[in-house]
Amino acid sequence: MKSPYISVSLIALLVCNLSPSAYAQATETAEPENSSGDDFHTDKPIVVTAPFLEELNILAGTSALSGDALTRELRPQIGDVLTKLPGVSTTSFTPGASRPVIRGLQGPRVLILNDGLGTIDVSTTSADHGVTVEPLLLDRIEVLRGPAVLLFGGGAIGGAVNAIDKRIPKNVPDEAFHLDTLASYATAANEFGISSSLDIPVSDNFVVHFDGSYRDSGNLSVGGFVLSPALRAEQLEIVAEETEEGNLEEAAEAAELANLEGSIPNTQTETYNFGGGFNWFGNGISFGASISYLDSNYGVPERPGAEHAEEEGDEAGEEEEEGPVTIGLDQLKFDVRSEINLSGAFEKIRFRAAYADFQQIEFEGDEVGTIFDNEGVEARLELVQSEKNGWRGASGIQYSYRDFSAIGAEAFVPPNQTNQFGIFTLQEISKDSLDLEAAVRLDFVDSEAPSIGIDRNFTSFSAAFGLGYNASESSKIGVNLTRAERAPSPEELFSNGPHLATGTFEIGDATFGTETTYGGELYLRVRQSGWQLSLTGYVNIIDDFIIEIPTGGEEDDLPIFQFIQNDADFVGVEFQGSADIADMGDFKISVDGVADYVNASLNDGGGAVPRIPPLRLLGGLEANSDKLNLRAELEWFADQDRNAEFESETEGFALVNFSAAWKPLGKETGVTFIASANNVFDVAGRRAASFTKDFAPLAGRDFRISAKFSF
């Protein structure tokens, strides 16, 4: 392992939407709560929020999914799970690969964390790469927006998603064992999933944990035609041209593509995941560790007309039948967590570390196309201050190392190693009705590609300042200012080759400097008896924004996409609110809503930033009792006609969904059945943030059932 740089990082402040939700418990404050949807056998919260957030007040909260809301929204990839939270969309590349998009930003600008540490996979390398987080095994997912994400890295200017599981137990169960089981089935892809986790107390201060999951799905059913109107028009033009020239076989193939409907070929998935862990709780100290293995296989839909370069050795003019592109990935991972309680000026020391060995193979038919290997380690050491005169804080160091290689005919990124090391601090003081926070982070990053003789070093400085005014016990207004800096990713620096799954020839630029974001937010949070709301407006001005655009040229029969740097501006707004409107017998009737919009432009005549979600409105009506929850919702997306030159327009659409959650033994028991009908009118919806939107629409009409047991 290459010797690391030592860096100093002092980190940022927070401002995410405090979740006011009646959206079926979908959002909660940053403080852990004993929600009946999470666990029914202890009065201690089993959920530990992202590092620092449970100790510090933070000027704003965080959106989250847990309990029944998380069960209802479960999908194969974490990006698709979170799309109903404010400011969140997803890449929707394929059911097996979908990363979150937050405030219009994606890729390396959005961190995906597993209990505070990175996932150590290659999902940021390209949109077709899956995330090694299994939603079936999660207790809770938190979405951090704005300055809060600087707690985990200055580069995550879009946001961070923290997925929390129980592999390293948070406490010792009171019973002889604790078992959680979840089974689900969905019709749109004939999708079946099951997971189970078991905690066994070996003694009063030692607990062991075992878990496993399996998920299998077929091709995704869709409403209407698979191809977008623009792509259908292209294929129909080919039909006319080939027919005129007498090429009837080619014309028939194009006509078959143009009229393809019902389901998307080659979108099947299969994943299994299992692991075990333990935690020992001593006198003011705890130490835990876990080991896990994940294996996932999924298909990648092919864009009509996409071709791949011939492998060396093919005879000139000889055509080779190409099979569908599929991806198989696996990861072996080790995690460690320890906490030491202190006295005096410091309250505790918290340590987290993980090591993972990851491999991904891209197949074309039965042939191996490219093998991606990624070995990495990440660690954090945090020192939490004791509160004194309203002043609290936390500081720490963070280190990560990545050794990446791609081998094969279409290895578009050369082998590279990345070291990052930093120190961060966040300080908070509350006095009367004012809350003041300030933080800074300094990272040193070394990215090296020895095979091409390039070694780049970056120093990035990030800082944040926030001021919140508590106008009353139930309302707060505030402002947050951030300067965040991101070092270019190895893909942005070193890419130079064909990429099989995306059908492009990608070229990076090793001369890039850092991206610098100057951000500001204004927010209002109100939580009254019977109603609540959260409203946030934000501006992100990004200097030297790194973006991939087509050059108009071709290499190996593939369109060339070149990474460039250009300044960009992102302006947006997020709203979330809920209100109780009536009582009908045992039922409480409530309404809730979410709205978000972002406008993103490149400066100097660069036009719109590509793949930006349009205006979205979501409204829900709920009836809640101790045993039954009924929900109806309408989610509407506007047209996205503000596009980059190489993008097609995205037609707006609306989804109508219904769901029911039944607790037959009562609210405080561990048995829940959930049934839902999604996209009831079988609409052909397409996400503007998706690279594959024109040939991989969203699921059509989908009936889902789930059963959750906790004993």
- Is residue 18 domain-resident? no
Question: How many distinct structural domains can be found in the chain?
Answer: 1
Structural domain including 132 reads: 63-219+265-309+324-710
Residue 464 scores a pLDDT above 60? yes
Residue 53 scores a pLDDT above 60? no
- Is residue 388 domain-resident? yes
- Is residue 227 domain-resident? no
What is the rounded CA–CA span in Å between residue 7 and residue 654?
48
- Is residue 129 domain-resident? yes
Classify burial at 271, counting beta carbons within 10 Å of its beta carbon; exposed 0-12, middle 13-18, buried 19 or more.
buried
Q: Where are the beta strands (DSSP E) in 386-415?
A: 391-408
What is the tens place of the pLDDT at every residue in 589-619? Answer: 999 999 999 999 999 888 999 999 999 999 9
What is the tens place of the pLDDT at every residue in 356-406? Answer: 999 999 998 888 988 999 999 999 999 999 988 889 888 999 999 999 999
What is the tens place of the pLDDT at every residue in 492-512? Answer: 999 999 876 677 899 999 999
What is the rounded CA–CA span in Å between residue 78 and residue 163?
9
- Give the per-residue pLDDT at 235: 94
What is the tens place of the pLDDT at every residue in 576-594? Answer: 999 999 999 999 999 999 9
Separation in Å, CA 487 to CA 91, 352, 653? 22, 23, 37
Q: Report yes or no: 357 and 368 within 8 Å, Cβ to Cβ.
A: no
Q: Report yes or no: 110 and 131 within 8 Å, Cβ to Cβ.
A: no
- Is residue 20 domain-resident? no
Residue 132 scores a pLDDT above 90? yes
**What is the length of the chain?**
711
Separation in Å, CA 16 to CA 32, 278, 542, 590, 628? 16, 33, 19, 24, 31
What is the rounded CA–CA span in Å between residue 606 and residue 564?
11
| Banded model confidence at residue 54, pLDDT cuts 50, 70, 90 | low
What is the rounded CA–CA span in Å between residue 594 and residue 572?
14
What is the tens place of the pLDDT at every residue in 424-443? Answer: 988 889 999 999 988 899 99
- Give the per-residue pLDDT at 491: 94
Residue 209 maps to which CATH number?
2.40.170.20
Residue 306 scores a pLDDT above 70? no
Mean pLDDT across 412-418: 95
Residue 26 scores a pLDDT above 90? no
Residue 703 scores a pLDDT above 50? yes
- Is residue 357 domain-resident? yes
- Give the per-residue pLDDT at 148: 67
What is the tens place of the pLDDT at every residue in 630-675? Answer: 999 999 999 999 998 888 999 999 999 999 999 999 887 889 999 9
What is the rounded CA–CA span in Å between residue 302 and residue 501?
8
Residue 86 scores a pLDDT above 90? yes
Sequence-separated (6 or more) residues with CB below 8 Å from residue 315:
none
Average pLDDT, the chain: 88
- Give the per-residue pLDDT at 202: 97
- Is residue 245 domain-resident? no
Residue 64 scores a pLDDT above 80? yes
pTM: 0.89
Least trusted range by pLDDT, from 30-34, 360-364, 462-466, 533-537: 30-34
Residue 457 scores a pLDDT above 50? yes
Mean pLDDT across 223-246: 94
- Is residue 358 domain-resident? yes
